[in-house]
């Protein structure tokens, strides 16, 4: 109900999403000197998947940042993300295969929103080709139903007639993955329920809270630091995220999230 405190908060967060995303973009420009100190790893390949109703244009800043860190990066090159259409279901496994073959190593996948759900399904399908998954505001732990009235779910249901009856993987995307996984979430998300973005923390799975809007996650400075730090993890020695000294306030979260 929108007349409850929680309902009014959801409406306010949704209404202010564009403005808060712009604020993240401004914050990115101001924090570039700090981001230059972000960790760098072995420069393995990275696939970046856009969110629902977005294209590769929406991940331009994120992909540019990863290239600056030295990673070979590709977008999905499938146009606008309207959900698991037959084209998407057919193309994504081959894209991961080609990227892994080209570089001779497993691929990290960074997915924003629905792109993160695709990333988790790909990791469950072909874990030997996927090094790790980093999802940004991805509500993988809930099933979209008529009872879910978040803005993201409403848009997803609108395009359901276009979706394939086949899946990238039959595994539940909320189940623990066979590869390291980091779920970045925000309690200030105005598009999806942030609680649906949480996974059970474990030896190779974690949740990292940030202050970002949903639309701004791909260019929020704190999110970019998390992504760089995670990609810098050695393939055989993954460790949970720890905020850099003095910046812990940028990464709010419940005990056990990290």
Cβ proximity of 112 and 138 under 8 Å: yes
- pLDDT above 70 for 1: no
Averaged confidence pLDDT in the chain: 91
How buried is residue 29: exposed, middle or buried, by Cβ count under 10 Å (0-12/13-18/19+)?
exposed
Question: Can you give the pLDDT at residue 256?
Answer: 46
Q: What is the pTM of this model?
A: 0.93
What does the DSSP 8-state code read for residue 3?
T
User: How far is it, in rounded angstroms, from Cα 59 to Cα 81?
Assistant: 12
Question: Can you give the pLDDT at residue 27?
Answer: 81
Question: Can you give the pLDDT at residue 25?
Answer: 81
Please report the domains of the chain, with CATH numbers, ordered by start residue.
Answer: 17-233 (3.40.50.1820)
Q: What is the pLDDT of residues 6-46, one digit of tens each?
A: 778 888 998 999 899 888 888 887 788 888 889 999 999 99
Q: What is the pLDDT of residues 156-209, one digit of tens each?
A: 999 999 999 999 988 888 889 999 999 999 999 999 999 999 999 999 999 999
Report the SS3 class of residue 127. helix
User: How far is it, in rounded angstroms, from Cα 34 to Cα 241?
Assistant: 18
Question: Can you give the pLDDT at residue 258?
Answer: 46
């Amino acid at each position: 109900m929108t007349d409850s405190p929680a309902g009014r908060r959801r409406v306010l967060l949704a209404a202010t999403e564009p403005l808060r995303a712009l604020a993240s973009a401004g914050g990115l420009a101001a924090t570039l000197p700090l981001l230059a100190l972000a960790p760098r790893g072995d420069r393995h390949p990275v696939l970046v998947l856009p969110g629902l109703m977005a294209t590769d244009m929406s991940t331009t800043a994120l992909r540019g940042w990863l290239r600056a860190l030295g990673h070979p990066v590709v977008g999905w090159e499938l146009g606008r993300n309207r959900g698991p259409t037959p084209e998407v279901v057919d193309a994504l496994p081959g894209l991961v295969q080609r990227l892994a073959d080209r570089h001779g190593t497993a691929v990290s996948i960074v997915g924003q929103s629905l792109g993160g759900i695709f990333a988790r399904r790909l990791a469950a399908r072909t874990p030997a080709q996927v090094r790790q998954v980093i999802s940004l505001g991805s509500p993988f732990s809930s099933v979209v139903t008529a009872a879910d009235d978040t803005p993201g779910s409403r848009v997803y249901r609108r395009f359901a007639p276009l979706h394939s009856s086949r899946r990238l993987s039959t595994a539940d995307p909320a189940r623990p993955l066979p590869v390291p996984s980091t779920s970045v979430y925000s309690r200030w998300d105005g598009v999806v329920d942030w609680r649906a973005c949480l996974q059970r923390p474990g030896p190779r799975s974690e949740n990292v809270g940030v202050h970002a809007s949903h639309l701004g996650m791909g260019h929020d400075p704190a999110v970019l630091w998390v992504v760089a730090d995670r990609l810098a993890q050695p393939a055989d020695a993954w460790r949970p995220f720890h905020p850099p000294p003095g910046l812990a306030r940028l990464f709010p979260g419940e005990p056990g999230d990290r």
